[in-house]
Amino acid sequence: VTARRAALIGCGMVGGSLMAALRAAGAIGHTVGHDRDAGHAERARALGLIDEVVGDAAAAVDGVELVVLAVPVRATAEVCAAIAGAVSWATLITDVGSTKLDVVDAAERTLPDPSRFCGAHPMAGTEKSGPDAADASLFRGKLVLVTPGEKSAPATIAACEAMWTAVGARTRRMPPAQHDRVVAWVSHLPHAAAFALAAAVGGVADEVAGLSGGGFVDTTRIAASDPTMWRDIFVANRAPLLAAIEALDGELHALRAAVEAGDDAAIEALIARARDGRKRVVEGRA
């Protein structure tokens, strides 16, 4: 994708990183940013992630060829409705949200020409948020799931993939429903586990403060993520997430029963299965 003018709606870490990366790649010219939180937009401009702040979403997208939505997933429909009358110049409207069925549905219901919308989800988030956490190299070597809706035009899909390739990412195309099932397992469930673990250990913080090692730090790193953003993701992806939590609950109960019974073989088998499962998931090729 090459755009003389581009608009970023939502000037947080992921959107800000993408604009900075596209500019570094020479793929975009003038960048307009809008954020419900004017301070975020101003900060993004001060950091050089965008060139200009516009206080109104419709005015921000006016005359631009590329529109990137980087708002909490639940805000997608509202933002699409706000910009619907002003996106006639856009050849690609895309997003970076962590759930896709709801986002694609909102975009298709709200945009005047849904053929020019194609959703995407970079698997490159961190526990940080806000424009100060933006990093132009965030997507280098990372995987981006590109999730066309049924109405996305082939040229739109290709433009979306080209945009991510331009910033150094690998892309893999999959339908929104498959995306939501996959991320329930590899992203949303780990967050749920990390939140539950950090909350549990936090309950005895007075006794254990300062005594943790690298294991606790890494296992709960993503528990430092933004509560509002993750509340939205969990609710948006409720059914796949609940199925995944069910499976985690089953494994945790199996482990608890084996420990309670002092069943050496069962404990060792579960740990070996965990180690093997992790290896297959992490080292498998997408």
Binding of residue 234 to its own copies (CB under 8 A):
yes
Binding of residue 78 to its own copies (CB under 8 A):
no
Which part of the chain contacts its own copies (CB under 8 A), choosing from 11-19, 28-36, 60-68, 208-216? 208-216
User: Which residue matches tokens 């755009």?
Assistant: 3
User: Which is it for the CA torsion 123, 28, 119, 80, positive or negative?
Assistant: positive
Cα separation of the two ends of the chain: 24
User: At closest approach, how far in Å is the CB of 253 from its own copies?
Assistant: 8
User: At closest approach, how far in Å is the CB of 71 from its own copies?
Assistant: 17
Binding of residue 268 to its own copies (CB under 8 A):
yes
For residue 118, what are the contacts with CB-CB under 8 A and spacing of at least 6? 92, 93, 94, 146, 147, 148, 149, 152, 156, 157, 159, 160
β pairing state of 119-122 and 52-53: unpaired
The CA distance from 37 to 143, in Å, is: 29
**Nearer Cβ to its own copies (117/234):** 234
Subset of 154-183 contacting its own copies (CB under 8 A): 172, 181-183
User: At closest approach, how far in Å is the CB of 68 from its own copies?
Assistant: 19
User: At closest approach, how far in Å is the CB of 75 from its own copies?
Assistant: 14
Compute the chain's Rg from CA coordinates: 21
**Nearer Cβ to its own copies (98/156):** 98
For residue 92, what are the contacts with CB-CB under 8 A and spacing of at least 6? 1, 3, 65, 66, 67, 116, 118, 156, 159, 160, 163
Report yes or no: 47 and 21 within 8 Å, Cβ to Cβ: no
The CA distance from 88 to 84, in Å, is: 8
The correct pick among 26, 141, 150, 264 for binding its own copies (CB under 8 A) is 264
Which part of the chain contacts its own copies (CB under 8 A), choosing from 3-11, 22-30, 43-51, 201-209? 201-209
User: At closest approach, how far in Å is the CB of 168 from its own copies?
Assistant: 15
**Nearer Cβ to its own copies (36/142):** 142
The correct pick among 7, 21, 123, 160 for binding its own copies (CB under 8 A) is 123
Residue 67 C-beta-side C-alpha neighbours within 13 Å:
32
Burial 106-138 (b: 16+ CB within 10 A, else e): bbbebbeebebbbbbbbbbbeeebbbeebebeb
User: At closest approach, how far in Å is the CB of 189 from its own copies?
Assistant: 7
Subset of 130-159 contacting its own copies (CB under 8 A): 142-143, 145
Which part of the chain contacts its own copies (CB under 8 A), choosing from 55-63, 82-90, 161-169, 222-230? 222-230
The CA distance from 164 to 45, in Å, is: 22
User: At closest approach, how far in Å is the CB of 99 from its own copies?
Assistant: 13
**Nearer Cβ to its own copies (143/158):** 143
The correct pick among 26, 141, 150, 204 for binding its own copies (CB under 8 A) is 204
User: At closest approach, how far in Å is the CB of 12 from its own copies?
Assistant: 17
